[in-house]
């Protein structure tokens, strides 16, 4: 029995389906035969309780017209049944004809359900759960299916894919951590020689020779730029490790604090400001949401400084709460009336150390820092050009649900 069960479990799916259909088809035929026999027996039993009417016989005669033998019954008047028995007999005559389609339909449904329950349900459930866990970046599980049919092999392939994903993810994290350690060591080890070189450059600037002082000034500028580059690397390492400190969302206070920040930046840069805030009351009714206000302010500061640097006269800032499915997002949109983003900048402006034509002034980390902070808060950064011209940047932050009020 164990070998038969093992062979049945590992049988190909289409073989199994054909076997289920044949088994239940035979069962349907057997039930049809049993039903016919039962109905015939029941009719005979009912008829046995009644006397038949007069019989009509056929006789052979001789030449003189005398009857030969007892004759042969060629017709018998039917018995007179009661109305109740007559209806019962009619039902018994109809039952075999009705039983055929009914048993056929039931056998098909039973075969399909049993095929699903024994061959499909378990592996499909495991594959669905595995896919959901992978979508949640949870690879700490195993897909086990001790079968050799098509779905068993599919589960084995899925398990192989999961194992390779887990191995690749572990290797990626190992390389990322190695890169972080290398960058930290690089930034740390450069500080000492840079400090020494700056001292020599300052000493050379006191030289009596004009050419030496000019060379020392060039060295001083480049050393200052290199020092700022090392500091930016250290700052990026800290930003990548940052964890949002969530606190309950106070919408009016958040709006006022951001309004004050952007007004101050626009006032210092002599740019006009148009600020708007929009929020649907239904989003906050009955629920308590949280976000990191300092992180949002940091992103707003970087975006505003970037916008005011390229704006001709005016900067637009919009703060809005949006709801998609079960998630609530804080969207900060900053636009300007400057030249906008080129096609290359739309692709690369949010990458680290990309600064386009302004490499001598800054390292191009503003938008990349915003991207990092938005990702740490479950969101992201989108770059575009406004319809009326100028650049447009939208920062999205996913709010965390604290409790239901």
DSSP string, 368-402: HHHHHHHHHTT-EEEEEE-TTSSEEEEEEEEPEEE
Cβ(51)–Cβ(79) under 8 Å?
Answer: yes
In a domain, 281, yes or no: yes
Residue 10 Cα to chain centre, angstroms: 32
pLDDT at 50 over 80: no
Q: 328 and 222, same structural domain?
A: no
d(C-alpha 235, C-alpha 18), whole Å: 66
Structure tokens at 306: 């970037």
Q: Helix-strand-coil percent breakdown of the chain, rounded to 5?
A: 60, 20, 25
Q: What percent of the chain shows pLDDT beyond 70?
A: 77
In a domain, 144, yes or no: no
d(C-alpha 327, C-alpha 380), whole Å: 14
Confidence of residue 359 (pLDDT cuts 50, 70, 90): very low
In a domain, 94, yes or no: yes
In a domain, 66, yes or no: no
> Across the strands, what pairs with 288?
403
Q: 227 and 96, same structural domain?
A: no
Residue (of 324, 319, 291, 327) closest to 303 by Cα position: 319
The pLDDT value recorded for residue 369 is 82
Per-chain mean pLDDT for the chain = 80
CATH of the domain at 270: 3.30.565.10
Beta strand pairing status for 314-324 and 272-278? parallel
Q: 93 and 169, same structural domain?
A: no
Q: 396 and 254, same structural domain?
A: yes
Q: 117 and 193, same structural domain?
A: no
3-state class (DSSP) for residue 60 = strand
3-state class (DSSP) for residue 318 = strand
Residue 49: other Cβ atoms inside 10 A: 10
Residue range 170-210, pLDDT digits in tens: 888 787 677 667 666 666 666 677 677 777 677 777 777 77
Q: 163 and 27, same structural domain?
A: no
Q: Where in the sequence is the domain holding 330, given as residue range(s)? A: 247-404
Q: 346 and 258, same structural domain?
A: yes
The pLDDT value recorded for residue 360 is 46
Q: 340 and 222, same structural domain?
A: no
The pLDDT value recorded for residue 186 is 61
Q: 377 and 341, same structural domain?
A: yes
In a domain, 145, yes or no: no
**H or E segment at 330?**
strand 327-336
In a domain, 63, yes or no: no
Confidence of residue 393 (pLDDT cuts 50, 70, 90): very high
Structurally, how many domains does the chain consist of?
A: 3
Give the residue from 240, 256, 275 where a domain finishes.
240
Q: What is the pTM of this model?
A: 0.53
Q: 215 and 168, same structural domain?
A: yes
Q: 97 and 122, same structural domain?
A: yes
In a domain, 354, yes or no: yes
Confidence of residue 31 (pLDDT cuts 50, 70, 90): very high
Q: 236 and 254, same structural domain?
A: no
Give the residue from 217, 240, 263 where a domain finishes.
240
Give the residue from 209, 240, 271 where a domain finishes.
240
In a domain, 254, yes or no: yes
Residue range 287-336, pLDDT digits in tens: 788 888 888 988 898 898 888 888 888 999 999 988 877 788 899 999 99
The pLDDT value recorded for residue 289 is 84
Cβ(53)–Cβ(78) under 8 Å?
Answer: yes
């Amino acid at each position: 029995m164990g070998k038969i069960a093992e062979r049945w479990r590992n049988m190909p799916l289409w073989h199994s389906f054909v076997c289920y259909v044949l088994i239940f088809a035979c069962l349907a035929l057997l039930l049809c035969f049993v039903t016919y026999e039962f109905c015939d027996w029941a009719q005979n039993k009912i008829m046995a309780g009644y006397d038949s009417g007069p019989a009509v016989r056929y006789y052979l005669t001789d030449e003189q017209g005398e009857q030969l033998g007892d004759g042969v019954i060629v017709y018998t008047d039917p018995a007179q049944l009661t109305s109740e028995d007559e209806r019962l007999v009619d039902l018994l005559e109809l039952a075999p004809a009705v039983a055929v389609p009914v048993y056929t339909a039931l056998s098909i449904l039973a075969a399909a359900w049993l095929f699903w329950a024994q061959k499909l349900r378990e592996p499909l459930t495991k594959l669905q759960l595995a896919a959901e866990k992978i979508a949640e970046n949870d690879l700490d599980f195993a897909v086990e299916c001790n079968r050799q049919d098509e779905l068993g092999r599919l589960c084995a392939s899925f398990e192989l894919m999961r194992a390779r994903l887990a191995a690749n993810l572990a290797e990626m994290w190992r390389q990322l951590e190695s890169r972080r350690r290398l960058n930290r060591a690089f930034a740390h080890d450069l500080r000492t020689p840079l400090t020494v070189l700056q001292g020599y450059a300052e000493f050379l600037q006191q030289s009596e020779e004009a050419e030496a002082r000019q060379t020392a000034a060039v060295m001083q500028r480049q050393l200052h730029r290199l020092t700022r580059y090392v500091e930016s690397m250290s700052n990026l390492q800290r930003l990548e490790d940052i964890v949002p400190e969530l606190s309950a969302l106070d919408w009016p206070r958040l709006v006022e604090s951001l309004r004050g920040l952007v007004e101050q930046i626009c006032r210092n840069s002599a740019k006009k400001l148009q600020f708007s805030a929009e929020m649907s009351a239904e989003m906050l009714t009955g629920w308590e949401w949280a976000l990191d206000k300092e992180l949002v302010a940091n992103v707003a500061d970087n975006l505003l400084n970037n916008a005011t640097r390229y704006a001709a006269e005016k900067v637009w800032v919009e703060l809005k709460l949006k709801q998609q499915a079960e998630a609530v997002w804080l969207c900060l949109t900053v636009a300007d009336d400057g030249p906008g983003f080129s096609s290359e900048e739309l692709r690369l402006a949010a990458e680290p150390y990309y600064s386009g034509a302004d490499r001598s002034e800054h390292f191009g980390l503003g938008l990349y820092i915003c991207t990092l902070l938005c990702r740490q808060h479950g969101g992201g950064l989108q770059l575009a050009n406004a319809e009326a011209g100028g650049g447009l940047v939208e920062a999205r932050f996913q709010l965390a649900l604290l409790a239901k009020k």
